[in-house]
Amino acid sequence: MEEVVDVETAVVSAVEEVRITSSKSVDMAGKQESIADSVCTRRGGFNRAPEGPPAQVLEMGTFMHATEGEMVCESINPKVPYFNAPIYLENKTAVGKVDEILGPINQVFFTIKPQEGIVATSFKAGDKFYIGGDKLLPLERSALFRQSRLVMKTHPN
């Protein structure tokens, strides 16, 4: 009977040791990171560090109006932004991320989901937003272009 108690005690202590080990932090190049986070980063690529603003930003669009806490903008760039691409002001201050892309290929609109601390109603119509050049797709490679070509082929009028 004592051996069963010892095995049970050993299992409980082993589980407790694993729990303590997994919650400890490891200092890696000055960054605090839990063991679980470092394993996830190596395996799947999620929990990535923020990239920061790009060296150069390009005009992406102009603010039209705020709706449901998001900003609706008209694109002034011939290319289409990636979903979740960071959006900046001219001084490279992060504003939010591209949430939706709307409209026909000749008049693209997009919405920006503002980051914490940014209020959508604080912008005026005509305010410009900017994007990093590496977060743009040529129109020919976007789904909007492919959908419009499909519509043109099926409806010749």
Tens digits of residue pLDDT in 42-88: 456 666 666 788 999 999 999 999 999 999 999 999 999 999 999 99
Q: Report how far residue 92's alpha carbon sits from residue 128's, in angstroms, rounded to the nearest whole number.
A: 12
Q: How confident is the model at residue 138 (pLDDT cuts 50, 70, 90)?
A: confident
Span 83-105, average pLDDT: 94
Report the run of H or E that residue 113 belongs to, with start and end: strand 109-114
Task: Estimate the crossing angle of helix 35-44 against helix 2-23, to 10 degrees.
Answer: 70
pLDDT tens track for 110-137:
999 999 999 999 999 999 999 999 999 8
Give, in order, the Cα–Cα distances in Å from 5 to each of 2, 15, 125, 134, 149: 5, 15, 73, 62, 73
Output 140 or 80, whichever has higher pLDDT: 80
pLDDT tens track for 7-24:
566 555 554 554 444 444
Considering the chain, what is the average pLDDT of its residues? 75
Where residue 103 falls (left for φ over 0; alpha for ψ -120 to 50; beta otherwise) is left
Give, in order, the Cα–Cα distances in Å from 82 to each of 8, 9, 13, 14, 71: 54, 54, 49, 47, 16
Instruction: Say if CB 104 and CB 118 are below 8 A apart.
Output: no
Q: Three-class SS string for 13-58?
A: HHHHHHHHHHHCEEEECCEEEEHHHHHHHHHHCCCCCCCCCCCCEE
pTM of this prediction? 0.61
Instruction: Say if CB 108 and CB 142 are below 8 A apart.
Output: no
145 pLDDT higher than 90: no
pLDDT of residue 104: 85
